[in-house]
Amino acid sequence: MEAVEVEEVTRVFEPRRRGSTRVVALDSVSLTIPTGEIHGLLGPNGAGKTTLVKILSTVLLPTSGRARVLGHDVVGETQAVRPLIGIVFGGERGLYWRLTGRQNLEYWGALYKLPSRVSKARAQQLLERVGLADKADDRVEEYSRGMKQRLHLARGLMGDGKVLFLDEPTTGMDPLAAREFRTLIGELLGEGRTILLATHDMVEAETVCDRVTLIDRGKIIATESPRTLGHLISRFQRIDVDGVSEAVLEEIRAMGGVASVTAVDGAGTRIEVDEEGVTQLVLERLVGAGVSSVRTSLPSLEEVYVQLIGERGMEI
């Protein structure tokens, strides 16, 4: 039995007011996640990630199609699905801010029908795990963004769900906190859980997930292993450079695997590569030409998409 099965799920939002348009948030999306996998759902804002997470967590009904979590239908068998899942949202919402972290967790434990003793013990355990033990009895309104996020994670685990949905859990976290968070996620998986991680951060998807589904404007573009994604990233690197002679630029332009060499107004030149390993060659040539001001950067998610879609000739 698969952990999550999504079959041709479509979700349409009808306009609520005059003037607003009909939105197709998900368009015949199909996906399968085997038990024990950390699966990334990667896409820009508005791609449909949150919509899919909401459908799978029984908060939203699909317009058509079917979805099952651990074999139970998310529409018809909500009572069977809910005890088995945990949800972690990103951002500020979803906690009683005048209650303490501990009180919030114990409440959620009760909602998952845990006996009081078990709820208290698990709350303590989780607070320690996410590093909030010494702040457990402070009001949530006094927590920093990162602390609230960790509390969300603890809350998502109170029900001890077999399948966890994490919706952009590191939004607004500083890089250090985000990195610690990802380590924590890795540990969770070791406990036999299945995780669906919705994110718009490519690096996060690459480092944490077993497989990644790319989604955009309600459609699934591809499902890749992180390695492939990693290749995509390193493939489409760009090099920004100042003070290079036209002759050297011509040479580079002629190299195989160099997609473009363009002058950027007042900011030197941008070299884009689209083959693996070419970056190194370009850098070697530039250094050889005596250039010392060089910057490499990764393309944005959007740019990778554009490339990928363009390459595969898919229609959106």
Binding site residues, other proteins, CB under 8 A:
13-14, 16, 51, 54, 57-61, 79, 82-83, 85, 87, 89, 92-99, 103, 107-108, 110-113, 139, 159
CB of 109 to other proteins, least distance (A): 9
CB of 91 to other proteins, least distance (A): 8
Directed axis angle between helix 101-111 and helix 116-129, to 10°?
130
Residue nearer to other proteins on the CB measure, 58 or 170: 58
Residue nearer to other proteins on the CB measure, 39 or 152: 152
Residue nearer to other proteins on the CB measure, 110 or 264: 110
The residue to which tokens 């501990």 are assigned: 102
Residue nearer to other proteins on the CB measure, 13 or 281: 13
CB of 181 to other proteins, least distance (A): 19
CB of 227 to other proteins, least distance (A): 34
State whether the Cα torsion 305-193-90-128 is positive or negative.
Answer: negative
Please give the Cα distance from 90 to 170 (Å, whole number): 6
For the stretch 184-193, contacts whose Cβ atoms lie closer than 8 Å and that sit 24 or more positions apart, written own/partner, are: 184/129, 184/130, 184/153, 185/38, 186/38, 188/157, 188/164, 189/36, 189/38, 192/35, 192/36, 192/162, 193/36, 193/161, 193/162, 193/163, 193/164
Please give the radius of gyration of the chain, using alpha carbons only, rounded to the nearest integer.
Answer: 23
CB of 13 to other proteins, least distance (A): 6
Q: How far is CA 250 from the centre of its chain?
A: 39
CB of 291 to other proteins, least distance (A): 45
State the pairing for strand pair 38-42/238-241.
Answer: unpaired
Structure tokens at 228: 């492939």
CB of 104 to other proteins, least distance (A): 10
Residue nearer to other proteins on the CB measure, 108 or 236: 108
Q: Half-sphere exposure of 112 toward its Cβ, with a 13 Å CA cutoff?
A: 25
Residue nearer to other proteins on the CB measure, 61 or 267: 61
Q: Reduced to 3 states, what is the DSSP secondary structure of residue 136?
A: coil
For residue 36, which amino acid is it?
G
Residue nearer to other proteins on the CB measure, 55 or 232: 55
